[in-house]
Amino acid sequence: MGNRTVGQLSPFDFVIMVGIGDIIVAGTMDQNPTLQSGIESLLILLALQQLIGYLALKNKTLRKWFEGTPVTLVQRGRLIKENFSKTHFNYDDLRQELHKKGLDMSDLNMIDTARLESCGEFTMVRTPENEPLTKNEFENYIKSIYDNPLSLAGEKWTKFEQFMDDVQLLATHLREQQGLNTTAGQPIVDKAKEFH
């Protein structure tokens, strides 16, 4: 049995689960089944599980011993073959897990680290240049598109507003040249404004 067959159970939890099944079977198959002996066995097993869980929480060495440690399968795009046999994880399993993440075996160079965690879950970290775009990075990119360093005092923030201002300024200049938009010889258009 490897990590992948245990699933979300730690090895100790798996032993407890098998023990509970054994106690239930022994209680039902016994010639003189008593409810009290079955309950006592289950309570002892439950107390043992709670004690081991508490000790594993407080002691790192015990935690490693009871729950195991993650095993690296891919490091910087290279397969670590000895860890595949250690965990009973084969290349088909790796291909399947990579497909779940949207990758293929040909995309191993995009992977910085891929591990089989102690709970049996496959985790992967992509290389920095292949990481997906984060929400913050996307918002900064969108803001940089809409930022307009040429607008007056930063009042205009979108390219559309900038375009509309340019169209209005152009129309005003055309009217001015035709002599249609002057008031007492004073043009309405501010000469300091320029096209963007």
pLDDT, one tens digit for every residue, the chain (196 residues)? 444 455 556 666 767 777 777 777 776 666 666 667 777 777 888 888 888 888 878 888 887 777 778 888 888 888 888 888 888 788 888 888 888 888 777 778 888 888 888 777 888 888 877 777 777 877 777 776 666 555 454 555 567 777 778 888 888 888 888 775 445 455 555 555 555 5
Is residue 119 a part of any domain in this protein?
yes
The DSSP secondary-structure symbol of 188 reads: S
- 16: domain range? 9-67
Residue 169 and residue 155: Cα distance in Å, rounded?
Answer: 16
Under 8 Å between Cβ of 45 and 20: yes
Q: 80 and 31 in one domain?
A: no
Is residue 103 a part of any domain in this protein?
yes
For the question of whether the overall pTM of this predicted structure is more than 0.75, the answer is no
Is residue 3 a part of any domain in this protein?
no
Number of domains in the chain: 3
Cα torsion through 70, 76, 82, 83, rounded to 10: 20
**Which of 67, 83, 114 finishes a domain?**
67
Q: 126 and 83 in one domain?
A: yes
Q: What is the CATH number of the domain that holds 112?
A: 3.30.240.20
In sequence order, what DSSP letters do the residues of 130-168 get, joined into one string? GSPPPHHHHHHHHHHHH--TTSGGG---SHHHHHHHHHH
Is residue 85 a part of any domain in this protein?
yes
